Chains A and B, each alone.
Chain A
């Protein structure tokens, strides 16, 4: 197990290094002179030189890359050009909205998908099964930001149960904060819940057709006992993979959904920074999200190997 974790750690480090190189090249090398890009066509030479100096653009490309990575390792993401504040601080503040939103949505989608998937699988071919599958077919086809807009129309504008947007702030209490994030989280969770329900159902059906299930039935267990005691646990592996993968989709999805509800999260920060050509902020946010995706997938891989020793030999 230790050997496996070490091997995965090395490949984690390589993935992160390569990802950081890709991001660095795309944002700092491809545009030529980032300072000139950020200031636009009519920049004065001395302003340009000052910004280059401030951004540390005077070194060679390998020097700049190493100082960028070195800074991040110490928690220093540089200083935003437009806001004149440390990027790490800005990201930290926004994360308090985006991360709870993604986790809220992940929890909702899991809470919906589990019972729905089990229900459909245990009544395979019935009206219930067909109904659940029909709803999930719609769920995967609906654009989540459009669903979010429709919910605003119904629950905020017509019924006035929620506010149409904005964030109450955690200092108003956890409940007030959660309430501001509820419609966005539901919108984010719907497509993910649909995918997860389908995976849950098909994985459970696969498990239910295996020999050990027949054996368990033959020794006299009821269908219900077999389902809960034997099938569910074995059906969990593909479900866990999808939950791990969903995290990255939810973080990316949060960026879009924040736009619908005017939430001041990472998404808003990124789009404002793109408009202001604040490359340093864009670079850091992209790196952070890619970091999150790679690390979560690593954690899922290791968690599996801990649960199922057969997986340690693979890859």
Chain B
């Protein structure tokens, strides 16, 4: 597809457009928060605590009188940073492992990598976070490591599966005849052909990472105060839910809309890259 054709196809894909817009709103909010927020999130204003939404505070204030809109903007940074770094860890380790396993299909290396993947799958990111926190104490870094480790087998399996079928193609055979080694073939011929799959899966893992980060900081295993995070805000709102429902509703909506946006974007990208897969299949 030509560059112009691709853009046109992208613009007519409803999931992609809606997903992209939603995702950009939250990424934008996170970026803007570095230079401007409606109100400083470290400034306490007890006189104005748990105020419902008003002109001064469009989403209301929390139990310390902090502006919830500002907290959500700054919290977006934590969520996005944790989820993005976790995807980078997962891809950085998982993709080379998957490529190696596929290049040496059936070997001991392949077996070790695949059994290692199975093992990591038995540890949900929550359990990894529990172990790290039990030993090192809670921090946003734990959440990154826990979610990152969980992402490794996801990318390793995906890469291996896709790479295995590519290894049987004629152009790979031609490269082998030309004397290229497994590493070069993986880098020059296999990797570029799995990139689309990796982008789609990366979007999905990004959205799962946002959900996982929120859950971890909700139970106190992730970002610690005073760093605002969406999960933390929900934990704080819990005891006041009958008094100040807005404290619970808005951070939750932020999570929901971000995850929804990323999922729609993933669906849209999948259609765009592979029109053969009908979008209603999954």
Contact = CB atoms under 8 A, between A and B. Distances in A.
B1 to A, nearest CB: 26
Given A19-B119, A146-B234, A271-B220, A141 B259 contact: yes
Interface string B108-150: 0000000100110011101100111111000000000000000
A290 B131 contact: no
26 contacts: A15-B118, A22-B123, A26-B135, A27-B134, A133-B280, A140-B259, A141-B259, A143-B211, A143-B215, A143-B234, A143-B252, A143-B255, A149-B237, A153-B241, A153-B242, A153-B245, A153-B248, A157-B242, A202-B282, A205-B280, A248-B122, A256-B218, A259-B219, A271-B219, A279-B134, A286-B131
B214 A143 contact: yes
A278 B278 CA distance: 51
- Which among B122, B131, B252, B264 has the highest number of chain A CB atoms within 10 Å? B122
Interface in A95-134: 124-125, 129, 133
B135 A30 contact: yes
Contacts of A146: 214, 234, 248, 251-252, 255-256
B203 interface: no
Interface in A1-56: 11, 14-15, 18-19, 22-23, 26-27, 30-31, 37
Contacts of A256: 126, 215, 218-219
Contacts of A22: 119, 123
A268 to B, nearest CB: 10
A37 B135 contact: yes
Contact of A274 (B133, B207, B234, B263): B133
Interface residues of B, number: 42
Top 7 A-B pairs, shortest CB-CB distance: A146-B252, A141-B259, A141-B260, A252-B124, A282-B134, A252-B126, A157-B242
Given A18-B119, A248-B124, A282 B131 contact: yes
A294 interface: yes
Interface string A255-271: 11001100000010011
Interface in A212-248: 248
A30 B207 CA distance: 31
B238 interface: yes
Chain A interface residue bracket vs B: 35 or more
Given A37-B135, A274-B133, A290 B122 contact: yes
A289 interface: yes
Interface in A188-206: 198-199, 202, 205-206
Interface in B65-96: none
Contact of A157 (B127, B234, B241): B241
A252 B219 CA distance: 12
B169 interface: no
A145 interface: yes
B8 interface: no
- Which among A125, A149, A206 has the highest number of chain B CB atoms within 10 Å? A149
Interface in B37-61: none
A176 interface: no
A58 interface: no
Contacts of A199: 282
- Which among A133, A138, A274, A279 has the highest number of chain B CB atoms within 10 Å? A274
Contacts of A145: 215, 218, 234
B282 A198 contact: yes
A146 B135 CA distance: 28
Contacts of B132: 26
B276 interface: no
Contacts of A311: none
Interface in B258-278: 259-260, 263-264
Given A149-B237, A293-B122, 19 more contacts: A15-B119, A23-B131, A26-B132, A31-B135, A129-B280, A137-B260, A137-B263, A141-B256, A142-B256, A143-B231, A143-B255, A143-B256, A146-B234, A153-B241, A256-B215, A256-B218, A271-B219, A285-B130, A294-B122
